[in-house]
Structure 1
Amino acid sequence: MISSGFLLRPCKNFIKQSYKHNWIKPDGFETGIQVYNCITEGKTPLILKNKQLITWYTCGPTVYDTSHIGHACCYVKLDVIQRILKSYFKYNIVMVMNITDIDDKIIYKANQTNTLYKDVATRYEKEFLKDLQDLGVTEPNIILRVTENIELIIDFIKKLEDGGQAYKAKDNSVYFDVKHYNNYGKLQNIGDQMIQQEQNDFKKSSADFALWKGSKKGEPFWHSPWGTGRPGWHIECSALASHILGSNIDIHAGGLDLRFPHHENEEAQSCAYHKTNQWVNYWLHTGHLHLKSAEKMSKSLKNTISIQEMLKIATPDVFRLSCLMSHYRSNVEYSKELLETAENLLKVYKNLLNSCDDYKKGYLKATINTEILTQALNDAYDNIHRSLCDDFDTPAVIKCLNDLVSVTNSMLHATVSSNSDGGLYTVMGVANFVSNTLSMFGINFESKTHTSQDFTEIMDILNTFRQNVRLIGVANKDQEVLKLCDNVRIRLRHLGIDIKDHAKASSWSR
């Protein structure tokens, strides 16, 4: 959605700019991956400047309040893409993120709560980083705070002013002069645009945006060549990202709501600063998270659910799987039903892995058609590879996994007609493939079910004792003994430990 501040009414004092916004295909190394390109409005090949290294910048939060599940959805989806690139395609990603720790909203919150703006920013930054950790989102390699890099931002603005792309206004603010940049609007694909030329109180054109905000009474400020003030929002990301990643970045990511005006303004001022036609080669934007019957989740609409509130009713894996079930560019409708669907699907995968383990240990007898299962495994591999290369199509990957699980379960749980030869390696191949694919997305059953050696030994002893008692109960048809065994199984299940009774043995798993 284009910001209402950019939908200008035609007037007699305007110039009409007609530019064809072109994406420049980078020189470099082909990856075999296609990604959606908002400039071309279609998929284009992902080409890297360096053979194995990806430079990546993600817009971080403005830390004035508790993060909500809309933020969680964005960062989880971007984390999934990064994991795919690192784990599956074996690329080395250097990821940079900013923290906006000075802003109108932070100042307002500080005044509301009668606290220092620094205390507000510090509190919510800590909350945000803990939320990322709890969600299993990989922390960026480099985190840059705005207030720790003011001089760097000032130097960036000064160069734009010296080059004629910025000007100081009567309010002691500095604005980017859009009419002196001839490719504005390419991310939003505006096309023919009307840029107002009539004067207003401060700006030459209402499309111009602030690089430096002149200070107001009672607000925090820093000294600059233009007087006291603080940076504008858009310039912060340009200056910080350029400082670390330079004049050309492989991937810049964020939510769809940032495409215009934030990313548009970043690209404009950065291209002007670096004297280049393309600062970022690929912009990745995640879809919004909606509540049922709500247009969008946002703090301004006061319809948010905090990340920690959500984690009280769903595990991080369940939420991550609910994000995987929709494409990263698609909107997500958050609901209890969505989480239940993801939770049930997660149980399907866990049960499949447990059944494969039971088959390996001999607890589960089954007839395995090795030829059919091997073909299903090969098809899953090929289809998932194509899906990952096709703009990181995770819903298609989930469908492929479900098809493979269904074929495998149909053999593991069918009536046994005969023992099969060579079935074990194929079943374990399926287990490895399912486990590795989910692990690539950040859902790792092994690390989360890992227990100490002492605990494992204790459970083995308990399971063997219960199994022997149960067999005595079965032999003697002693219902009281069998009831006691059932009670042990039920109580352990409440602790997350599942015991399965087979003909002459019992198995346990987390």
Structure 2
Amino acid sequence: MIRRVLREYCKITPIVLMGITDVDDKIIRRANESGIAIGTLTRSTELSFFNDLASLNVLPPTALARVTENIPQIVEFIQAIHDKGLAYHDSSGGSLCFDVGAYEASEGKHYFKFSSPYEQRDTALSKGKKDPRDFALWKLGKPGEPTWESPFGNGRPGWHIECSAMASRYFGSHIDIHSGGRDLAFPHHENEEAQSCAFHDCTQWATHYIHTGHLYMGDEEKMSKSLGNTKSVPELLQECSARFFRIFCLLTHYRRDLKVSPSNVEHARSFDQIFVSLMASIRKYLSGSLPLPRPLDEPEVEQWMMKAKSEFQRALTSDFNSPLALHSMLTLANRLAPILHPSYDAPLSASNTQVKGFSSSLTLLGNLQEFFEEKLGSIGLDFRSNSRTVPANEDLPVALVDSVVAFRDRVRRCSLEIPKEVSSSVKKQLLTACDEFRSELDAHSVMIKDHGKSGSSWSFRSSTRRVSGESR
């Protein structure tokens, strides 16, 4: 989302580098347990990861940097730090460590940019280190592990150094934005910043650090593999659409924790269904399959659009406030709802029978359609390809539903045309049957909207539960 906002609203085209750690303790252990080569394991995992990103409509990075393909650059980076007297071999196993104390003694350098000394959880001296804050730049190899030659002994890079070295290879001595989860601020980003400032002899390496919140199952339990409460993207997309999941994420500011709770899930479903229903109605009016009840008040609607556009853009360019941006679109949708979805017995205006006014109203509807598709699409929410979101685990042919709803609509319209003095009981029975049939289809995720004598429209629901159109 951040990348899209920078491009669409700040006229900045970011070059996004993604680092791929394809060798570390966990990978080595898993490869040994599985009896497969590390390269085979990591490339398979990488492929699945990028397939998942594509499934969720996440833009791919501009470039990739794999650790195993950048070993010479990483070794050179470490060597430069060592030559400045900011690295030493620990006394336990000989691994090369970054000397935080020596770094802090350098002019203009300081540690703890992201945390105070009192926030450290592990204050005990680690094996052979001068200071508990010191961290490995190069780990000496152990039997059964992949190793590379270096002036510090055969081994492999430490976790923090690989990111600094690879980013510096592509971007030089400075990067604009560095992002990651909140848990990476310390020690990972803290250590990256220190070693990068040491290498480039600067006081600030990354201009902006963006730290995101965590995903929680309910109010307390953080989603993690160790707790066994994770869910894969393919499993997720069996239960909901990618668009729904993006809405669910965007309704929480990126800095805050995202909680998977019934109320938050229902809130996201409500947003999704409101926009699905709105776009379906607009398309029905534009195609002529649903008569427009009355001309639109063009100056008023255009004023609503301009206000929504301004609020949407202001929210996104103010620390990427996606919840506020979505609510600006919801406000516009709610204002349009009574106009595009008149009540069951609302009388049609006299101008409904006049051609004057309807042509320009249809043009305005086209502008509304383009407006919603463009603005929501700018944050990765695609409402353009199909106005009907087929719910998971449902296999209802669209053509069949079209026919069923059309038949019900004919019965309902004929019932409305029956004069009361002829047979009010028959009319009531038919309308009651239509309402009952609508409820039955609703149970199968097909939502029908009746528009007085103008006809009916329908859309798939993203959930079998009834949702509200009110903002929360």
User: 1:445-481 CA deviation, whole Å, 9 max, x = no partner?
Assistant: 213569xxxxxxx9899969995997599669999x9
Task: Give identity over the alignment, percent.
Answer: 36
Aligned residue for 2:15, secondary structure, equals strand
TM-score by length of 1: 0.73
Contact 1:463 1:506 in 2 (8 A): no
Q: Is the deviation greater in 348-357 or in 296-305? A: 296-305
Pick aligned residue for 1:175 from 73, 97, 104: 97
* Amino acid paired to 1:278: Q
Unpaired segments of 5 or more residues in structure 1?
1-79, 451-457
- Higher relative contact order by CA 8 Å / sep ≥ 6: 1 or 2? 1
User: 1:243-281 CA deviation, whole Å, 9 max, x = no partner?
Assistant: 011111111111111111001111110111011111100
- 1:32 is matched with none
The answer to whether 1:428 aligns with 2:366 is yes
* Amino acid paired to 1:273: F
The answer to whether 1:391 aligns with 2:319 is yes
TM-score by length of 2: 0.78
Aligned residue for 2:161, secondary structure, equals helix
The answer to whether 1:366 aligns with 2:294 is yes
Unpaired segments of 5 or more residues in structure 2?
389-396, 419-425, 461-472
User: 1:205-233 CA deviation, whole Å, 9 max, x = no partner?
Assistant: 12110000011222221111111111000
Q: Is the deviation greater in 202-211 or in 374-383? A: 374-383
The answer to whether 1:419 aligns with 2:419 is no
Matches within 5 A, 1:468-487: 471=410
1:290, distance to aligned residue in structure 2 (A): 0.7
* Amino acid paired to 1:377: M
Pick aligned residue for 1:286 from 172, 187, 212: 212
In structure 1, C-alpha distance between the alignment counterparts of 2:23 and 2:54, rounded to whole Å: 23
In structure 2, C-alpha distance between the alignment counterparts of 1:259 and 1:114, rounded to whole Å: 34
- 2:377 is matched with 439
Contact 2:438 2:447 in 1 (8 A): no
Contact 1:188 1:260 in 2 (8 A): yes
Pick aligned residue for 1:120 from 16, 32, 41: 41
User: 1:15-74 CA deviation, whole Å, 9 max, x = no partner?
Assistant: xxxxxxxxxxxxxxxxxxxxxxxxxxxxxxxxxxxxxxxxxxxxxxxxxxxxxxxxxxxx
- 1:62 is matched with none
1:385, distance to aligned residue in structure 2 (A): 2.2
Change (3 A) 1:193 1:462: closer
Contact 2:174 2:206 in 1 (8 A): yes
In structure 2, C-alpha distance between the alignment counterparts of 1:382 and 1:312, rounded to whole Å: 36
Change (3 A) 1:366 1:412: farther
Number of equivalences: 423
1:384, distance to aligned residue in structure 2 (A): 1.7
- 2:192 is matched with 266
Change (3 A) 1:418 1:394: farther
The answer to whether 1:103 aligns with 2:24 is yes
Q: Which has the larger radius of gyration?
A: 2
Aligned residue for 2:283, secondary structure, equals helix
Q: Could you say which structure has the higher strand fraction?
A: 1
1:406, distance to aligned residue in structure 2 (A): 0.8
Pick aligned residue for 1:208 from 131, 134, 137: 134
Contact 2:442 2:448 in 1 (8 A): yes
Matches within 5 A, 1:88-487: 88-170=9-91, 171-182=93-104, 183-190=109-116, 201-360=127-286, 361=288, 363-414=291-342, 415=346, 416-419=348-351, 421=357, 422-448=360-386, 471=410
In structure 2, C-alpha distance between the alignment counterparts of 1:149 and 1:272, rounded to whole Å: 20
Change (3 A) 1:487 1:406: closer
